[in-house]
Amino acid sequence: MARETGQQAKPAAGGAAKAGLPELDSLTIATVRKIMPYGAFCTLDEYGNREAFIHVSEVASRWVKNIHEFLKEGQKIVARVHRVTPEKDQVDLSLRRVTEADKKLKMEAYKREKRVAKLFELCAKKTKTEIAKAHASVGSALLSKYPDLYSALEAISFNGEAAFEGLAIPGDWKKALSEVAVANIHRPEVVITETAMVTVYLPDAIDVIKAAFKDAVAVGKGEAEVTAHYIGAPRYRLSVKAGEYKAAEKALEEANAAVIRRVKSAGVVEFEREGANPK
């Protein structure tokens, strides 16, 4: 079966291309360039558009009658590196060995890499530094402390000047990195909401309910923020916002307990979860 010759890596858009060939069994982003009856030729987005190939037998788990039902030219895909032949500079990919979870995680990581590449390029423009020189100097310095550039920008955004401790980075670069990180990298947030049905059998019921939700809101003075809103008697909404799901759940449990303590001797309260969403 005829096969086109391997294509050498070229500079990739959005950041420096990874050197060499991808590792066997790793996930990679590819773009379908040419479809043949026996397979498809692709370019590897993360490796400077180096050429790779997907044999028709690796396109799907079932028999493929028409490869065009599964692939389109120009389509961006998540593929697994099925075979690497360094002496021929060839990379073979597989689609049928990639799960939906693999696709999601890899695409999220790829988008994050592209985003941080653009942010780092913006810092280079602010400091009037050539991007290659920036990666070789400042980029290398950041990577000596952090696993990747995105983690470095997160640390700078969240921890300020402390993120630069132990790093020999020029003042103009510290300023540029701080400005870009604070403007573009924000702490992830989880929001959990629930409806509280509260009924109090006392003349001063409204005062008891107000005190109950005041106690609930007071719970959120630590790692989480708790808010309470009136929907319409006897329904109230409790919302908890935190940096991680575990902290949000803990705060909501404490808020519920605070409401129950105020209400249990004078009425009844029920909670109904509405949802939990990352912000």
> Within this chain, do residues 106 and 179 fall inside the same structural domain, yes or no?
yes
Could you tell me if residue 163 is inside a domain?
yes
Confidence band, pLDDT 50/70/90 cuts, at residue 119: very high
pLDDT of residue 12: 39
Domain co-membership, 159 together with 238? no
Question: Residues 75-117: pLDDT tens digits?
Answer: 999 999 999 999 999 999 999 999 999 999 999 889 988 999 9
* Structural domain boundaries, residue 134: 102-184
* Residue 276 pLDDT grade (very low, low, confident, very high; cuts 50, 70, 90): low
In total, how many domains does the chain have?
A: 3
Here the CATH number for the domain that contains residue 210 is 3.30.70.1130
Cα gap 257→245, rounded to integer Å:
18
**Is the pTM value of this prediction over 0.95?**
no
pLDDT at residue 267 above 60?
A: yes
Of 79, 98, 117, the domain-final residue = 98
Q: Examine the pLDDT at 188 and tell me if it is beyond 80.
A: no
Last residue of a domain, one of 53, 69, 98: 98
In a domain, 59, yes or no: yes
DSSP characters over 153-190: HHHHHHHGGGGGTT----HHHHHHHHHHHHHH-----E
Q: Is residue 34 part of a domain?
A: yes
Residues 220 and 161 in one domain: no
The CATH number of residue 159's host domain is 1.10.150.190
135 with 154, same domain: the answer is: yes
Q: Do 141 and 154 lie in a common domain?
A: yes
Q: Give yes or no for residue 13 having a pLDDT over 70.
A: no
User: Does residue 196 fall inside a structural domain?
Assistant: yes
- 263 has a pLDDT exceeding 70: yes
> How high is the pLDDT of residue 2?
44
Report which DSSP code applies to 256.
Answer: H
Residues contacting residue 217 through CB under 8 Å, at least 6 positions apart: 226, 227, 228, 255
Choose among 126, 186, 109: nearest CA to 154.
186
Rounded distance between C-alpha atoms, residue 154 and residue 146, angstroms:
10
Same domain, 219 and 236: yes
Do 179 and 202 fall into the same domain? no
Residue 19, in any domain of the structure: no
Question: Average of pLDDT values for 8-28?
Answer: 68
CB-based contacts of 144: which residues, under 8 Å, 6+ apart? 167
Q: Which two tokens stand for residue 40?
A: 């498809």
Confidence (pLDDT) at 38 = 94
Task: List strands edge to edge, sheet with 224-232.
Answer: 224-232, 235-242, 190-200, 267-278
> Is 11 among the domain residues?
no
Q: Tell me how far apart the alpha carbons of residues 73 and 243 are, in angstroms, rounded to a whole number.
A: 41
Tell me: the pLDDT tens digits for 198-257?
Answer: 999 999 999 999 999 999 999 877 778 999 999 988 999 999 998 888 888 999 999 999
- pLDDT of 11 > 70? The answer is no
Domain check: are 132 and 84 in the same one? no
CA torsion 49→50→51→57, rounded to 10°? -90
Q: Which residue has the higher pLDDT, 11 or 143?
A: 143
